[in-house]
Amino acid sequence: MNKNKSNRILAGPYLFWSVAFILIPLAMIVYYGFTNESGGFTFANIAEIGSPENLKALGLALLLSFISTLICLILAYPLAMILSEANVNQSSFIVMIFILPMWMNFLLRTLAWQTLLEKNGVINSVLDFLHMPNLQIINTPYAIILGMVYNFLPFMVLPIYNALIKLDKDVINAARDLGATQKQTFLKIIFPLTLPGIISGITMVFVPALTTFVISDLLGGSKILLIGNVIEQKFKQGSNWNVGSGLSLVMMIFILLSMAIMNKYDKDGEGGMF
Amino acid sequence: MSNTLIDFVNISKSFGNQLILDEFNLSVKENEFLTLLGPSGCGKTTTLRILGGFETPDKGQVIFDGTDITALPPNKRNLNTVFQKYALFTHMSIAENIAFGLKISGKSQAYIDDKIKYALKLVNLDGYENRRPDSLSGGQQQRIAIARAIVNEPKVLLLDEPLGALDLKLRQDMSYELIRLKNELGITFIYVTHDQEEALTMSDTIVVMNQGYIQQMGSPEDIYNEPQNAFVADFIGESNIIPSLMLEDKLVEIQGAKFPCVDTGFGTNKPVDVVIRPEDIDLVKPEDGTIEGVVTHLIFKGVHYEMEVMANGFEWLVHSTDMVAVGERVGIHVDPFDIQIMNKPESEDDEAVGVNE
Amino acid sequence: MKHIGRKIYLALIFILMYAPIATLVVLSFNSSKTRAKWGGFTLKWYSSMLADSSIMNALYTTLIIAFLSALIATVIGTAASVGIHSMQAKLKTFFITVTNIPMLNADIVTGISLMLLFIACRFTLGFATILIAHITFNIPYVIMSVLPKLRQVNHSTYEAALDLGASRTYAFRKVIFPDILPGVLSGFLLAFTMSLDDFIITHFTKGPGVDTLSTKIYSEVRKGIKPEMYALSTLLFVSVLVLMMLANSAPKKDESGRIKRSSFIAKRVVPIVLILVFVGGGFLSHIISNANSSSEQLVVYNWGEYIDPEVIEMFQEETGIQVTYEEYETNEIMYPKVQSGAIAYDVVCPSDYMIERMLQNDLLAEINWDNVPNIKNIDEAYMEQSKSFDPENKYSVPYCFGTVGILYNKTMVDEPITSWDVLWDEKYKDNILMQDSVRDAFAVALKRNGDSINSTDVTELQQATQDLIEQKPLVQAYVVDQVRDKMIGNEAAIGVIYSGEAIYTQRENSDLEYVIPEEGSNVWIDSWVIPKNAKNKENAEEFLNFLCRPEIALMNFDYITYSTPNKAGRELIEDDDIRNSRIAFPTAEDLKDCETFKFLGDEADAYYNELWNKVKAS
């Protein structure tokens, strides 16, 4: 294995890149987060999270992202199971079905939901036609949840799907052979063995949902502020970078938490998306 | 002998448009060590999986202990499987793996603990309770897989090429181990393999399969000594298969020379295949043999020498403890009872169906 | 039964995933400019898309950035993967953790952190910073695609190559690389896709003047998405779809390596070739659009959708001056760009109070009226009104004017609307649309209390803030130009809107009525000015003179429906109702309590912003 040592040098440019553009920028957020506008040390920016408006935005963001993560999981698991049982030859096609929408711009896709959900939008027209009660969720938190689920569902489906197709069919057969019913096999074997994929999916949905400002902006009628909106405003409109950084740091606590959980369950990056 | 435990009745199974089993019939007796032997794709694993309940046959029935279990799900069948790649539950400890089936059937914790101890002792892995499956070697994992299956006290243990992933030495050790286990447990083993040596060593009964059909069924000795067709002869051990002409009862013409044999009932002047095992050929002085030839190859194989003798246009494979140098002229002699006569298949399909007299 | 259930479930998910996409595709064929109404089938957006240089530029930028960032990330990432693969466990864990950061971290934090870095390093935000940011978040995707392939590589083949006398580089190239190539290519494709779809990180790291499709769309959200954008996205999507279908219909038999190889080509190589064609096309169109430039130039900076494109064509044809046309969404976005002087605009169209601010900061050049004789066509009244921000009429040419008022749907309200109070009426809960901009929202609240829209009085402003917070539960949404689409689509009963939009919306939906509330409102003028650093001042004046021609003013009025101060132009309007419309051309009596916005100073601006944030966060 003597080729190894000299090959390590190949990671050099990446090391440089990640220090310069990943680690140092993060350090800058920490710096801004703990200083005031004249550069003095302060906890005031972090404490800003305690203001009623910010607490409300954070709480709402946590709530909405939690709900949408849960919905994603409930929708994605059966879906991934159905897909994983499909013909093996189709697997790349299946992945494509979920990657393909990304070629239609994310903002346009989300905006299209406005047209679909509006009072006189497409969905309500169809419901009217069927003489069914109308769906009134545009500009409410429900629309935001829908937007989150819609945008982030693929990030839940793909890791679970990958975990499922990696499962040895004989392991499932073995459980059945040893007397387990289908339900028992699922609970004791399939579910625990796909846990890395599930955890990875949860992280990949929860983090962007928690921090989004676009979805709440587009589907919430600009009147529902999530923590992401507050931070975005601090940087883009109010130009108060210190407070913005402070709030970002608070938000990062939740991100770090999910990263830690993910590392614990998924040491080899096996629950990856691709 | 004991009673019939399992009956496959007219089982057919195909995947897509590929026919794997065609009107397959087989009976397995109680306490038998039965081996399904054949090349890959011969239907042996499918047979096992149908019995395990992992595949449903398109046609036919599986009778187990007098009842039809064809439609029964795997968890309702009183038999357990040892899978080719062990299929251990990697997220559980060894003890949890072994306890899996017992917990499902609601046994008491004390019973389970006893059983784990017993099973680990049986497979020579005492003290491994808290290890993780991926910390064990292949051979150890295989034993755990066996332990996990046998604690449930199945009437039948199905083994799907369980030694396939092990290296040679380990394979030999494990096959002795399996024989010991079989004797200690006193249950039926149905064993699937493509390795003729394993089959010959362990089995009470060998079923040789090809392309979904049984070619021959019998004791290891029968199968080896009396192959009923060219396929079996070729698959089991090494042999010379020579197209010949049956002149009359007890006389066959091989490559232009007349050999006395012991077979009768093939008619007169009938084309047949003759099987002669390489170790049954005696090399004698040129003038003493039935045919004369020249040694063309010589390889030392440890126990014996392997030689090829060119005689009357056919390369004869010969095993002998006596060496004859390349280029020397020799005579070939075969005792009449070492000559095995087989009907010639008319076509390839005939060959697969085999000769079931 | 079970299978039917599965199929239904799959179908439902499929509908969820593709309903919005289908919607966008349908909209791209909608001849009506508003997304709320189906105006019949048309292909016109597909042709006008190609002519729209701002969209084509955004497309070009997007593709170039996606391509370059994916390419560079693939090179760095593949090298890094090989390096990481040969590391010991500890070091490996460190690298994998670092790699995970951009993947798991929130985009907003990644974007902000890079923005802070660039600004601290005095790196001008622009193309390069977007590129760096995209490379940064793309590398992990490449590593995650390549590393697993490296793990699968049989190491002894590499050693066999060395044993046969190959150098290490040669052995890598010939033995390892072909094995990991599928991983490298899918890493590249993934990176390309991610870059293409990114908005958030680009949003924070982009500078003025550079737009990707995402940021362009985001800014258009407020103005209303141009249908050309739907057309472009549909085109992009369909080409990728067709490609993927081709790739998937490629022969799958793997009886021989040759067939496998061809499906490999279909799956990985063809998409990359397509990307190259896209990007190459981008380059080409850019070169072509630059090639036909003449020596005479004019750089125009205008509000979005604020001129008839044909007018520019006519001007170019008549004068031979090559026009470069850029758009902005709000005065506040326009101001810093002009102030920075990074791009020398020749003619800009700000609003009243912004002109005042620009004058105060000495950013404007005096107009030589000898070159703009057509100024005589402008109604004296508006020249007079302009004096509130341009006291001597030296710097500005009035272009459009209007009021802010209430647009309401006659079928959805019971009584005639006369007062801003209706926006606080519980009856219309969830049927009210408010303007999503500070000054406009506060203008409504201040006027309702009888205060000036330019108030800097703390008590008055606090009261207005309180009122706006109280109003919030009744508001369906805070929007800008979407009021138009939503009112046309009967989405709301009442909306705050600019008078110019009122004429257009009435044309589309006859149930709509516009009123200037009796408390008074904001009356505004957008005027053309020439920045001091303009390079083609004479061309700019020629352009202004052209715009002041009556027939040109009429064309613009028909197209943008905002009131024209051009008296001669107004007289050419054939439709009596519109020519004499008090919405388009309010009388002095209509405007008696109306005020023009004034620039209040940076400090007061900040205070307004703070109060507005309070309202939004409540």
Chain B interface, best mutation among A166, A177, A186, by max B CB count within 10 A: A177
Higher pLDDT, C332 or C12: C12
The predicted pLDDT at position C428 comes to 92
- In sequence order, what are the residues at sequence separation of 6 or more whose Cβ sits closer than 8 angstroms to the Cβ of residue C326? C54, C209, C299, C300, C301, C302, C343, C345
| pLDDT band (50, 70, 90) for residue C290 | low
Gap from C104 CA to chain A (nearest CA, Å)? 7
What domain range includes position C184? 53-225+250-290
**Do B298 and B324 touch, CB atoms closer than 8 A?**
yes
Q: Nearest C-alpha of chain A: how many angstroms from C493?
A: 12
C27 assigned to some structural domain: no
Q: Answer whether CATH 1.20.58.760 is correct for domain B4-225.
A: no
Instruction: Give contacts of B74 with chain A, Cβ < 8 Å.
Output: 173, 176-177
Instruction: For residue A247, tell me if it sits in a domain.
Output: yes
Give yes or no for residue C271 having a pLDDT over 80: no
Sign of CA dihedral B148, B152, B153, B155: negative
- Write down the domain spans for chain B: 4-225, 230-353
pLDDT band at B70 (very low <50, low <70, confident <90, very high): very high
Closest alpha carbon within chain A to C111: A25
Q: Given B83, B91, B100, which is nearest A170 (Cβ)?
A: B83
| Separation CA B159–CA B176 (nearest Å) | 15
Does residue C253 surpass a pLDDT of 50? no
Mean pLDDT for C62-90 is 91
C134 and C59, same structural domain? Answer: yes
Average pLDDT over residues C247-264: 49
Sheet (strand B79-82) strand order: B79-82, B156-160, B188-193, B33-37, B205-210, B213-218
Average pLDDT, chain C: 86
pLDDT (mean) for C203-217: 84
Q: Is the pLDDT of residue A195 over 50?
A: yes
Distance CA C85, CA C147 (A): 7
Look at A184-188, C173-177, C189-193, C239-243 and tell me which has the smallest mean pLDDT: C239-243
For the cut 50, the answer to whether the pLDDT of residue C260 exceeds it is: no
Q: How confident is the model at residue A69 (pLDDT cuts 50, 70, 90)?
A: very high
Query: Average pLDDT over chain A, rounded to whole?
Result: 86
Chain B: touching chains (3 or more CB pairs < 8 Å): A
Q: Please say if the pLDDT value at position C250 is more than 60.
A: no
Same domain, C352 and C330: yes
3-state secondary structure of C391: coil
pLDDT of A63 > 60? The answer is yes
Mean pLDDT of C106-123: 89
Tell me which residue in C145, C217, C230 faces A274 most closely, judged by beta carbons: C145
Summarize the confidence of residues C48-64 as an average pLDDT.
83
Shared domain for C186 and C261, answered yes or no, is yes
pLDDT of residue C163: 83
Residue C189 has pLDDT above 70, yes or no: yes
For residue A41, tell me if it sits in a domain.
Answer: no
Which residue from B166, B150, B168 is spatially nearest to B158, judged by alpha carbons? B150
What's the average model confidence in pLDDT over C397-421? 92
Give the model's confidence band at C210: pLDDT under 50 very low, under 70 low, under 90 confident, else very high.
Answer: confident
Residue B329 pLDDT class (50, 70, 90 cuts): very high
| Same fold yes or no, B4-225 and B230-353 | no
pLDDT score at B307: 93
The listed range with the strongest mean pLDDT (A117-126, B171-180, C307-316, C476-485) is C307-316
Tell me the C-alpha distance between A158 and A271, whole Å.
9
User: What is the model's pTM?
Assistant: 0.81
Q: How far apart are CA C459 and CA C466, in angstroms?
A: 10
Closest partner CB to C16 (pick from A13, A120, A150): A150
CA distance C405 to A24: 50
State how far the Cα of C14 lies from the Cα of C49, in Å rounded to an integer: 29
**Which chain C residues are within 8 Å of A112, Cβ to Cβ?**
19-21, 23-24, 27
Does residue A4 register a pLDDT over 60? no
d(CA B270, CA C431): 100
Residue by residue, DSSP assigns chain A as -THHHHHGGGGHHHHHHHIIIIIHHHHHHHHHHTB-TTS-B-SHHHHGGGSHHHHHHHHHHHHHHHHHHHHHHHHHHHHHHHHHTS-GGGHHHHHHHHHGGGGS-HHHHHHHHHHHHSTTSHHHHHHHHTT------TTSHHHHHHHHHHHHHHHHHHHHHHHHHHS-HHHHHHHHHTT--HHHHIIIIIHHHTHHHHHHHHHHHHHHHHH-SHHHHHHTTT----HHHHHHHHHHTS--HHHHHHHHHHHHHHHHHHHHHHHHH-TTSTT---
Q: Is B84 on the interface with A (CB under 8 A)?
A: yes
**C540-594: per-residue pLDDT in tens?**
999 999 999 999 999 999 888 899 999 999 999 888 888 888 888 888 888 888 9
Backbone phi and psi for residue A220, each to the nearest 5 degrees, phi listed first: -100, 10
Residue A184 pLDDT level (bands cut at 50, 70, 90): very high
Determine the pLDDT at residue A103. Answer: 78
Angstrom distance (rounded) from CA C218 to CA A232: 14
**CATH for B230-353 (1.10.10.10, 2.40.50.140, 1.10.220.10, 3.40.50.9100):** 2.40.50.140
User: Residues C396, C535: one domain?
Assistant: yes
- Which residues from A are below 8 Å from B87, CB to CB? 168, 170-171, 173-174
Question: Is pLDDT above 50 for C9?
Answer: yes
**Assigned token pair, B194:** 């493509």
Structure confidence at residue B353 (pLDDT): 57
**Under an 8 A CB cutoff, do C214 and A105 touch?**
yes
pLDDT at B7 over 80: yes
Identify the DSSP state of B216.
E
Report the CATH number that the domain containing residue C406 is assigned in CATH.
3.40.190.10
Contacts of A79 in chain C (CB under 8 A): 9-10, 13
SS3 C291: helix
Give me B265's structure tokens: 């009932």
A137 part of a folded domain = yes
Structure tokens at C73: 């990330």
Place A118 in a pLDDT band, splitting at 50, 70 and 90: confident
Confidence (pLDDT) at A68: 96
Distance from CA of B25 to the nearest CA of A (A): 23
Instruction: With cut-offs at 50, 70 and 90, classify the pLDDT of residue B82.
Output: very high
- Asked if residue C416 and residue C311 are part of one domain, the reply reads no
Same domain, C76 and C212: yes
Q: What pLDDT, on the 0 to 100 scale, is given for residue C255?
A: 41
**Confidence (pLDDT) at C540:** 94
**Whole-number percent of chain A with pLDDT over 90:** 41
Closest chain A residue to B76, measured at CA: A179
Size of interface A-B (CB pairs under 8 A): 65
Res. C281 pLDDT band, cuts 50 70 90: low
**Residues A71-76, mean pLDDT to the nearest whole number:** 96
> Nearest-CA neighbor of A247 among C101, C108, C198, C204?
C108
Give CA–CA dist B164/A254, Å, rounded.
49
CA distance A227 to A232: 9
pLDDT of the residue at A58? 93
pLDDT tens digits, C437-489: 888 999 999 999 999 999 999 999 999 999 999 999 999 999 887 888 889 88
pLDDT at A178: 92
Residue B185 pLDDT exceeds 50:
yes
C218 contacts in chain A (CB < 8 Å): 107, 214
pLDDT for residue C197: 86
Structure tokens at C95: 């690298």
A105 → closest Cβ in C95, C98, C213: C213
Nearest to B216 by CA among B238, B191, B235: B235
Residue of A nearest to B84 (CA): A170
pLDDT band at C259 (very low <50, low <70, confident <90, very high): very low
Query: How sure is the predictor about C248, in pLDDT bands with cuts at 50, 70 and 90?
Result: low
CA dist C508 and C485 (Å) reads: 10
Per the CB < 8 Å rule, is C136 touching A17? yes
The residue range of the domain holding A210 is 51-265
- Weakest-pLDDT range from B57-71, B221-235, C319-333: C319-333
Task: Please count the structural domains in chain A.
Answer: 1
Q: What pLDDT is stored for residue A137 in this prediction?
A: 87
Least Cα separation, residue B92 to chain A (angstroms): 9
Chain A residue set in contact with B, beta carbons under 8 Å: 168, 170-171, 173-182, 184, 188-189, 192-193, 195
Is the pLDDT at A87 greater than 70? The verdict is no
Query: In this predicted structure, what is the pLDDT of residue A166?
Result: 87
Q: In terms of DSSP H, where are the helices of C29-126?
A: 44-51, 53-85, 89-104, 107-120
Cβ distance B152 to A171 less than 8 Å, yes or no, reads no
Query: pLDDT value at position C265?
Result: 52
**Quick check: C321 and C298 in contact, CB under 8 A?**
yes
- Among B37, B41, B12, which Cα is nearest to B25's? B12
pLDDT at C415: 86
Residues C101 and C183 in one domain: yes
Distance of CA A248 to the CA centre of its chain: 17
Number of domains composing chain C: 3
How many residues make up chain A in this entry? Answer: 274
Partner residue opposite A176 with nearest CB, options B74, B90, B152: B74
Q: Is residue C14 part of a domain?
A: no
**Domain contains A260:** yes
pLDDT of B352 > 60? The answer is no
Closest CA to A102 of C137, C202, C279, C197: C197
Q: What is the pLDDT of residue C390?
A: 92
ipTM, interface predicted TM-score of the complex = 0.89
Identify whether A27 is part of a domain.
no
Residue C373, judged by CB atoms within 10 A of its CB (0-12, 13-18, 19+), counts as exposed
DSSP symbol at C367: P
Q: What is the pLDDT at residue C196?
A: 87
Residue C245 included in any domain: no
pLDDT at position A130 over 50: yes
pLDDT digit string, tens, across residues C124-182: 788 899 999 999 999 999 998 898 888 888 777 888 888 888 888 888 888 888 888 88
Cα(B85)–Cα(B62) distance, rounded to whole angstroms? 26
Sign of CA dihedral C588, C594, C600, C605: negative
Three-state DSSP at B295 gives strand
A101 contacts C17? CB cut-off 8 A: yes
What pLDDT score does A270 carry?
A: 47
Same domain, C159 and C197: yes
Same domain membership, residue C273 and residue C354: no
- Residue A237: per-residue pLDDT: 66
Residue A163's domain is classified under what CATH number? 1.10.3720.10
Stretch among A78-92, A213-227, B307-321, C538-552 having the lowest mean pLDDT:
A78-92
Tokens 């326009």 belong to which residue? Answer: C334
Domain-embedded: residue C26 = no
- To probe the interface with A, which of B89, B160, B190 has the most A CB atoms within 10 Å? B89
Chain B residue with Cα closest to A179: B75
